Amino acid sequence: MKRDSNLKNDLIIKTLLGEATERTPVWMMRQAGRYLPEYIKLREKYSFFERCQNPELACEITLQPIEIIGVDAAILFSDILVVPQAMGMEVQLVEKFGPLLPQPIKTQMDIQRIRVPDVNDALHYVFDAIRLIKQELNGRVPLIGFAGAPWTLLCYMVQGKGSKTFDEAKAFCYQQPELAHQLLQMITDTSIAYLKGQVAAGADLVQIFDSWGGLLGKKDFEEFSLQYIRQIVAALKKGIPTIIFAKGAWSSLPEMAATGAHGLGIDWCIEPETARRLADSAPATEGRTVALQGNFDPAKLLSPIPVIEKEVKEMLKNFGKGAHIANLGHGILPNVPVDHAKAFVNTVKEF
Protein backbone atom coordinates (compact mmCIF):
# COMPACT_ATOMS: atom_id res chain seq x y z
CA MET A 1 0.00 0.00 0.00
CA LYS A 2 1.42 3.33 -1.16
CA ARG A 3 1.33 6.00 1.52
CA ASP A 4 2.61 9.55 1.26
CA SER A 5 4.84 10.02 4.32
CA ASN A 6 4.72 13.78 3.77
CA LEU A 7 0.99 13.96 4.76
CA LYS A 8 0.34 16.13 7.80
CA ASN A 9 -3.36 15.19 7.89
CA ASP A 10 -3.94 11.54 7.07
CA LEU A 11 -7.25 11.07 8.94
CA ILE A 12 -9.09 9.83 5.88
CA ILE A 13 -6.33 7.38 4.91
CA LYS A 14 -6.18 5.96 8.42
CA THR A 15 -9.95 5.62 8.57
CA LEU A 16 -10.00 3.75 5.26
CA LEU A 17 -7.21 1.43 6.41
CA GLY A 18 -9.04 0.63 9.65
CA GLU A 19 -6.61 2.52 11.88
CA ALA A 20 -7.74 4.57 14.87
CA THR A 21 -7.95 8.37 14.51
CA GLU A 22 -8.45 11.20 17.01
CA ARG A 23 -11.61 12.34 15.17
CA THR A 24 -13.84 11.66 12.15
CA PRO A 25 -12.47 13.08 8.88
CA VAL A 26 -14.74 15.22 6.71
CA TRP A 27 -14.99 16.33 3.09
CA MET A 28 -17.91 17.13 0.77
CA MET A 29 -18.75 15.78 -2.65
CA ARG A 30 -18.58 18.68 -5.18
CA GLN A 31 -16.73 20.71 -2.54
CA ALA A 32 -14.86 22.41 -5.39
CA GLY A 33 -17.89 23.85 -7.06
CA ARG A 34 -20.62 26.37 -7.65
CA TYR A 35 -21.44 27.33 -4.05
CA LEU A 36 -18.00 29.01 -3.80
CA PRO A 37 -17.85 32.61 -5.12
CA GLU A 38 -14.15 32.04 -5.90
CA TYR A 39 -15.17 29.17 -8.20
CA ILE A 40 -17.93 31.20 -9.86
CA LYS A 41 -15.33 33.85 -10.79
CA LEU A 42 -13.24 31.30 -12.68
CA ARG A 43 -16.36 29.78 -14.19
CA GLU A 44 -17.28 33.12 -15.72
CA LYS A 45 -13.89 33.37 -17.39
CA TYR A 46 -13.21 29.82 -18.55
CA SER A 47 -15.35 27.04 -20.07
CA PHE A 48 -15.79 23.79 -18.17
CA PHE A 49 -13.27 21.91 -20.25
CA GLU A 50 -10.77 24.77 -20.01
CA ARG A 51 -11.05 24.52 -16.23
CA CYS A 52 -10.55 20.74 -16.39
CA GLN A 53 -7.80 20.69 -18.97
CA ASN A 54 -5.63 23.53 -17.71
CA PRO A 55 -3.60 22.10 -14.80
CA GLU A 56 -3.16 25.51 -13.16
CA LEU A 57 -6.91 26.17 -13.18
CA ALA A 58 -7.78 22.62 -12.06
CA CYS A 59 -5.23 23.01 -9.26
CA GLU A 60 -6.55 26.40 -8.14
CA ILE A 61 -10.16 25.08 -8.04
CA THR A 62 -9.16 21.86 -6.26
CA LEU A 63 -7.42 23.85 -3.53
CA GLN A 64 -10.22 26.40 -2.93
CA PRO A 65 -12.25 24.32 -0.43
CA ILE A 66 -9.10 23.31 1.47
CA GLU A 67 -8.30 26.93 2.10
CA ILE A 68 -11.86 28.31 2.42
CA ILE A 69 -13.75 25.47 4.13
CA GLY A 70 -10.98 23.48 5.79
CA VAL A 71 -11.94 19.98 4.65
CA ASP A 72 -9.71 16.97 5.42
CA ALA A 73 -9.15 15.96 1.79
CA ALA A 74 -8.86 17.57 -1.62
CA ILE A 75 -10.66 16.01 -4.56
CA LEU A 76 -9.36 16.52 -8.05
CA PHE A 77 -11.46 19.03 -9.99
CA SER A 78 -12.58 17.19 -13.11
CA ASP A 79 -15.65 15.39 -14.46
CA ILE A 80 -16.53 11.74 -14.95
CA LEU A 81 -17.27 12.48 -18.63
CA VAL A 82 -13.60 13.06 -19.49
CA VAL A 83 -13.45 9.26 -19.90
CA PRO A 84 -16.09 8.97 -22.67
CA GLN A 85 -14.39 11.98 -24.25
CA ALA A 86 -11.01 10.24 -24.13
CA MET A 87 -12.66 7.16 -25.67
CA GLY A 88 -13.57 9.24 -28.71
CA MET A 89 -17.05 10.59 -27.99
CA GLU A 90 -17.97 14.23 -28.30
CA VAL A 91 -19.02 15.57 -24.89
CA GLN A 92 -20.53 19.01 -24.40
CA LEU A 93 -21.47 20.58 -21.08
CA VAL A 94 -24.36 22.88 -21.91
CA GLU A 95 -25.21 25.66 -19.45
CA LYS A 96 -28.47 24.94 -17.55
CA PHE A 97 -28.97 21.71 -19.52
CA GLY A 98 -26.10 19.53 -18.37
CA PRO A 99 -24.08 17.01 -20.35
CA LEU A 100 -24.85 16.45 -24.01
CA LEU A 101 -23.29 13.67 -26.08
CA PRO A 102 -24.64 14.45 -29.56
CA GLN A 103 -23.79 11.02 -31.02
CA PRO A 104 -24.89 8.51 -28.39
CA ILE A 105 -24.16 4.80 -28.72
CA LYS A 106 -27.05 2.67 -29.96
CA THR A 107 -25.48 -0.01 -32.20
CA GLN A 108 -22.38 -2.13 -32.81
CA MET A 109 -21.37 0.43 -35.46
CA ASP A 110 -21.43 3.16 -32.82
CA ILE A 111 -19.16 1.12 -30.57
CA GLN A 112 -16.69 0.84 -33.42
CA ARG A 113 -16.40 4.63 -33.35
CA ILE A 114 -14.88 4.51 -29.86
CA ARG A 115 -11.73 2.94 -28.44
CA VAL A 116 -9.81 2.11 -25.27
CA PRO A 117 -7.35 5.02 -25.46
CA ASP A 118 -3.78 5.39 -24.26
CA VAL A 119 -4.64 7.38 -21.13
CA ASN A 120 -1.15 8.90 -20.98
CA ASP A 121 -1.95 10.51 -24.25
CA ALA A 122 -5.69 11.28 -24.00
CA LEU A 123 -5.83 12.16 -20.30
CA HIS A 124 -2.31 13.43 -19.61
CA TYR A 125 -3.78 16.79 -18.58
CA VAL A 126 -5.42 15.11 -15.57
CA PHE A 127 -2.13 13.57 -14.50
CA ASP A 128 -0.37 16.94 -14.97
CA ALA A 129 -3.03 18.56 -12.77
CA ILE A 130 -2.59 15.90 -10.08
CA ARG A 131 1.20 16.41 -10.00
CA LEU A 132 0.73 20.15 -9.65
CA ILE A 133 -1.97 19.80 -6.97
CA LYS A 134 0.18 17.42 -4.92
CA GLN A 135 3.04 19.90 -5.09
CA GLU A 136 0.81 22.83 -4.05
CA LEU A 137 -0.93 20.82 -1.31
CA ASN A 138 2.51 20.02 0.07
CA GLY A 139 1.12 17.34 2.37
CA ARG A 140 -1.61 19.47 3.98
CA VAL A 141 -4.33 16.89 3.17
CA PRO A 142 -4.58 13.81 0.93
CA LEU A 143 -5.76 14.10 -2.69
CA ILE A 144 -8.71 12.01 -3.86
CA GLY A 145 -8.67 10.85 -7.47
CA PHE A 146 -11.86 9.57 -9.06
CA ALA A 147 -13.68 8.06 -12.02
CA GLY A 148 -17.29 7.33 -12.89
CA ALA A 149 -18.43 3.73 -12.59
CA PRO A 150 -18.77 2.00 -15.97
CA TRP A 151 -22.57 1.73 -15.61
CA THR A 152 -22.96 5.46 -14.92
CA LEU A 153 -20.74 6.30 -17.89
CA LEU A 154 -22.75 3.93 -20.09
CA CYS A 155 -25.89 5.82 -19.01
CA TYR A 156 -24.56 9.04 -20.51
CA MET A 157 -22.89 7.38 -23.51
CA VAL A 158 -26.15 5.66 -24.54
CA GLN A 159 -28.81 8.14 -23.37
CA GLY A 160 -26.73 11.07 -24.67
CA LYS A 161 -27.87 13.37 -21.89
CA GLY A 162 -29.05 13.46 -18.28
CA SER A 163 -32.32 11.73 -17.41
CA LYS A 164 -34.41 10.87 -14.37
CA THR A 165 -34.80 7.24 -15.42
CA PHE A 166 -32.12 6.63 -18.10
CA ASP A 167 -34.64 4.31 -19.73
CA GLU A 168 -32.88 4.39 -23.12
CA ALA A 169 -29.67 3.27 -21.44
CA LYS A 170 -31.54 0.55 -19.56
CA ALA A 171 -33.39 -0.55 -22.70
CA PHE A 172 -30.00 -0.81 -24.47
CA CYS A 173 -28.78 -3.18 -21.73
CA TYR A 174 -31.98 -5.24 -21.70
CA GLN A 175 -32.31 -5.44 -25.49
CA GLN A 176 -28.65 -5.84 -26.46
CA PRO A 177 -26.88 -7.24 -23.40
CA GLU A 178 -23.85 -8.47 -25.39
CA LEU A 179 -23.27 -5.02 -26.81
CA ALA A 180 -23.74 -3.49 -23.37
CA HIS A 181 -21.13 -5.81 -21.88
CA GLN A 182 -18.71 -5.05 -24.70
CA LEU A 183 -19.10 -1.34 -24.00
CA LEU A 184 -18.90 -1.77 -20.21
CA GLN A 185 -15.67 -3.74 -20.57
CA MET A 186 -14.12 -1.05 -22.75
CA ILE A 187 -15.06 1.60 -20.18
CA THR A 188 -13.69 -0.61 -17.39
CA ASP A 189 -10.36 -1.13 -19.13
CA THR A 190 -10.05 2.60 -19.73
CA SER A 191 -11.02 3.42 -16.15
CA ILE A 192 -8.48 1.03 -14.65
CA ALA A 193 -5.68 2.58 -16.70
CA TYR A 194 -6.99 6.05 -15.91
CA LEU A 195 -7.14 5.48 -12.15
CA LYS A 196 -3.73 3.79 -12.13
CA GLY A 197 -2.42 6.87 -13.93
CA GLN A 198 -3.97 9.09 -11.27
CA VAL A 199 -2.31 7.04 -8.55
CA ALA A 200 1.06 7.13 -10.33
CA ALA A 201 0.71 10.93 -10.62
CA GLY A 202 0.12 11.22 -6.87
CA ALA A 203 -3.53 10.58 -5.91
CA ASP A 204 -3.61 9.26 -2.34
CA LEU A 205 -6.93 7.42 -2.63
CA VAL A 206 -9.63 7.04 -5.28
CA GLN A 207 -13.41 7.09 -5.36
CA ILE A 208 -15.63 5.42 -7.95
CA PHE A 209 -18.88 7.35 -8.51
CA ASP A 210 -21.84 5.23 -9.56
CA SER A 211 -24.37 8.04 -9.54
CA TRP A 212 -27.00 5.95 -11.35
CA GLY A 213 -26.42 2.58 -9.68
CA GLY A 214 -29.68 3.08 -7.80
CA LEU A 215 -31.70 2.88 -11.01
CA LEU A 216 -31.01 -0.84 -11.26
CA GLY A 217 -32.61 -3.68 -9.35
CA LYS A 218 -30.16 -5.80 -7.34
CA LYS A 219 -29.64 -8.49 -10.00
CA ASP A 220 -29.16 -5.92 -12.76
CA PHE A 221 -26.82 -3.90 -10.57
CA GLU A 222 -24.63 -7.00 -10.25
CA GLU A 223 -24.75 -7.69 -13.99
CA PHE A 224 -24.36 -4.19 -15.42
CA SER A 225 -22.51 -2.35 -12.69
CA LEU A 226 -20.92 -4.21 -9.81
CA GLN A 227 -19.05 -6.84 -11.78
CA TYR A 228 -17.16 -4.00 -13.50
CA ILE A 229 -16.62 -1.98 -10.31
CA ARG A 230 -15.23 -5.20 -8.82
CA GLN A 231 -12.62 -5.38 -11.61
CA ILE A 232 -11.59 -1.78 -10.94
CA VAL A 233 -11.35 -2.26 -7.17
CA ALA A 234 -9.38 -5.49 -7.66
CA ALA A 235 -6.88 -3.69 -9.91
CA LEU A 236 -6.34 -0.89 -7.38
CA LYS A 237 -7.03 -2.00 -3.82
CA LYS A 238 -3.58 -3.42 -3.08
CA GLY A 239 -1.95 -0.14 -4.03
CA ILE A 240 -4.34 2.50 -2.76
CA PRO A 241 -7.44 2.97 -0.58
CA THR A 242 -10.62 2.82 -2.67
CA ILE A 243 -14.15 4.09 -2.04
CA ILE A 244 -17.27 3.00 -3.95
CA PHE A 245 -20.20 5.41 -3.96
CA ALA A 246 -23.16 3.81 -5.73
CA LYS A 247 -25.97 6.21 -4.89
CA GLY A 248 -29.20 4.42 -3.99
CA ALA A 249 -27.78 0.91 -4.44
CA TRP A 250 -28.12 0.21 -0.71
CA SER A 251 -29.36 -3.35 -1.22
CA SER A 252 -25.97 -4.33 -2.65
CA LEU A 253 -23.93 -2.96 0.27
CA PRO A 254 -22.90 -6.50 1.33
CA GLU A 255 -21.64 -7.28 -2.18
CA MET A 256 -19.88 -3.91 -2.42
CA ALA A 257 -18.16 -4.56 0.93
CA ALA A 258 -17.08 -7.98 -0.36
CA THR A 259 -15.15 -6.35 -3.25
CA GLY A 260 -12.51 -5.40 -0.70
CA ALA A 261 -13.06 -1.66 -1.22
CA HIS A 262 -11.93 0.32 1.81
CA GLY A 263 -14.92 2.64 1.98
CA LEU A 264 -18.55 2.70 0.85
CA GLY A 265 -20.48 5.92 0.28
CA ILE A 266 -24.12 5.99 1.38
CA ASP A 267 -26.89 8.54 0.90
CA TRP A 268 -29.27 10.00 3.50
CA CYS A 269 -32.08 7.59 2.66
CA ILE A 270 -30.43 4.75 4.54
CA GLU A 271 -29.88 4.86 8.29
CA PRO A 272 -26.19 4.57 9.31
CA GLU A 273 -27.07 1.62 11.55
CA THR A 274 -28.75 -0.26 8.67
CA ALA A 275 -25.86 0.49 6.31
CA ARG A 276 -23.36 -0.74 8.91
CA ARG A 277 -25.31 -3.97 9.43
CA LEU A 278 -25.52 -4.60 5.66
CA ALA A 279 -21.85 -3.80 5.04
CA ASP A 280 -20.73 -5.95 7.96
CA SER A 281 -22.79 -8.91 6.72
CA ALA A 282 -20.02 -9.47 4.13
CA PRO A 283 -16.87 -11.30 5.28
CA ALA A 284 -14.32 -8.72 6.49
CA THR A 285 -11.41 -8.12 4.11
CA GLU A 286 -8.06 -8.70 5.83
CA GLY A 287 -9.81 -8.34 9.19
CA ARG A 288 -10.64 -4.72 8.35
CA THR A 289 -14.05 -3.09 8.94
CA VAL A 290 -15.12 -1.25 5.80
CA ALA A 291 -15.49 2.50 6.40
CA LEU A 292 -18.81 4.17 5.64
CA GLN A 293 -18.87 7.60 4.05
CA GLY A 294 -21.79 10.03 4.20
CA ASN A 295 -24.62 10.68 4.62
CA PHE A 296 -25.94 14.21 5.31
CA ASP A 297 -28.88 15.32 3.15
CA PRO A 298 -27.38 18.03 0.88
CA ALA A 299 -30.66 20.01 1.01
CA LYS A 300 -30.32 20.15 4.78
CA LEU A 301 -27.35 22.51 4.37
CA LEU A 302 -30.04 25.07 3.45
CA SER A 303 -31.37 24.86 7.05
CA PRO A 304 -30.44 27.55 9.62
CA ILE A 305 -26.93 26.94 11.06
CA PRO A 306 -28.13 25.80 14.54
CA VAL A 307 -30.25 23.12 12.82
CA ILE A 308 -27.26 22.01 10.73
CA GLU A 309 -25.12 21.73 13.86
CA LYS A 310 -27.77 19.69 15.68
CA GLU A 311 -28.38 17.36 12.77
CA VAL A 312 -24.67 16.83 12.04
CA LYS A 313 -24.11 15.82 15.67
CA GLU A 314 -27.01 13.41 15.45
CA MET A 315 -25.56 11.91 12.27
CA LEU A 316 -22.16 11.47 13.94
CA LYS A 317 -23.79 9.75 16.92
CA ASN A 318 -25.69 7.43 14.61
CA PHE A 319 -22.52 6.36 12.80
CA GLY A 320 -20.69 5.87 16.07
CA LYS A 321 -16.96 6.08 16.64
CA GLY A 322 -14.53 5.04 13.91
CA ALA A 323 -14.86 3.61 10.39
CA HIS A 324 -16.73 6.74 9.31
CA ILE A 325 -15.85 9.56 6.92
CA ALA A 326 -18.31 12.44 7.29
CA ASN A 327 -19.66 13.68 3.98
CA LEU A 328 -22.89 14.62 2.28
CA GLY A 329 -25.08 11.91 0.77
CA HIS A 330 -24.65 13.54 -2.66
CA GLY A 331 -22.95 16.65 -4.11
CA ILE A 332 -23.28 20.01 -2.36
CA LEU A 333 -26.04 22.18 -3.92
CA PRO A 334 -25.02 25.40 -5.71
CA ASN A 335 -27.29 27.56 -3.52
CA VAL A 336 -25.73 26.56 -0.17
CA PRO A 337 -24.27 29.58 1.68
CA VAL A 338 -20.51 29.19 2.30
CA ASP A 339 -20.92 29.62 6.08
CA HIS A 340 -23.40 26.72 6.09
CA ALA A 341 -20.80 24.50 4.43
CA LYS A 342 -18.28 25.67 7.02
CA ALA A 343 -20.76 24.91 9.83
CA PHE A 344 -21.06 21.34 8.50
CA VAL A 345 -17.30 20.83 8.43
CA ASN A 346 -16.60 22.56 11.74
CA THR A 347 -19.29 20.63 13.59
CA VAL A 348 -17.62 17.38 12.53
CA LYS A 349 -14.17 18.66 13.48
CA GLU A 350 -15.28 19.85 16.91
CA PHE A 351 -17.47 16.87 17.81
Task: Provide the binding-site residues for its own copies, judged by CB under 8 A.
Answer: 164-165, 167, 170-171, 174-175, 214-218, 220, 248-249, 251, 268-271, 274, 297-300, 302-304, 307, 333, 335
Dihedral sign for Cα atoms in the order 293, 297, 298, 302: negative
Catalytic, 35? Answer no
Alpha-carbon distance values, 115 to 78, 139, 189, 208 (Å): 21, 36, 10, 21
- Estimate to the nearest angstrom the gap between the alpha carbon of 286 and the chain centroid: 24
Selected catalytic residue, list 156, 189, 204, 210: 156
Catalytic, 189? Answer no
- Estimate to the nearest angstrom the gap between the alpha carbon of 87 and the chain centroid: 20
> What minimum distance in Å lies between the beta carbon of 167 and its own copies?
5
> What minimum distance in Å lies between the beta carbon of 169 and its own copies?
9
The nearer residue to its own copies, 300 or 324, going by C-beta atoms, is 300
3-state secondary structure of 325: strand
> What minimum distance in Å lies between the beta carbon of 42 and its own copies?
24
Selected catalytic residue, list 3, 4, 23, 34: 34
> What minimum distance in Å lies between the beta carbon of 253 and its own copies?
12
The nearer residue to its own copies, 117 or 294, going by C-beta atoms, is 294
Pairwise CA distance, residues 36 & 58, whole Å: 15
The nearer residue to its own copies, 170 or 276, going by C-beta atoms, is 170
Catalytic, 30? Answer yes
Selected catalytic residue, list 4, 46, 79, 128: 79
The nearer residue to its own copies, 9 or 303, going by C-beta atoms, is 303
Catalytic, 131? Answer no
Q: Minimal CA–CA distance to 62: which of 37, 93, 31?
A: 31
> What minimum distance in Å lies between the beta carbon of 234 and its own copies?
26
> What minimum distance in Å lies between the beta carbon of 5 and its own copies?
39
Selected catalytic residue, list 3, 43, 131, 288: 43
The nearer residue to its own copies, 15 or 159, going by C-beta atoms, is 159
Alpha-carbon distance values, 60 to 47, 63, 189, 338 (Å): 15, 5, 30, 18
Other Cβ atoms less than 10 A from the Cβ of 217: the count is 11
Q: What angle do CA 59, 23, 294 make, to 5 degrees?
A: 65
The nearer residue to its own copies, 79 or 297, going by C-beta atoms, is 297
Catalytic, 43? Answer yes
Selected catalytic residue, list 10, 30, 35, 39: 30
Pairwise CA distance, residues 35 & 338, whole Å: 7
Alpha-carbon distance values, 244 to 16, 129, 225, 293, 350 (Å): 12, 23, 12, 9, 27
Pairwise CA distance, residues 148 & 246, whole Å: 10
Residue numbers annotated as active site: 30, 34, 43, 79, 156
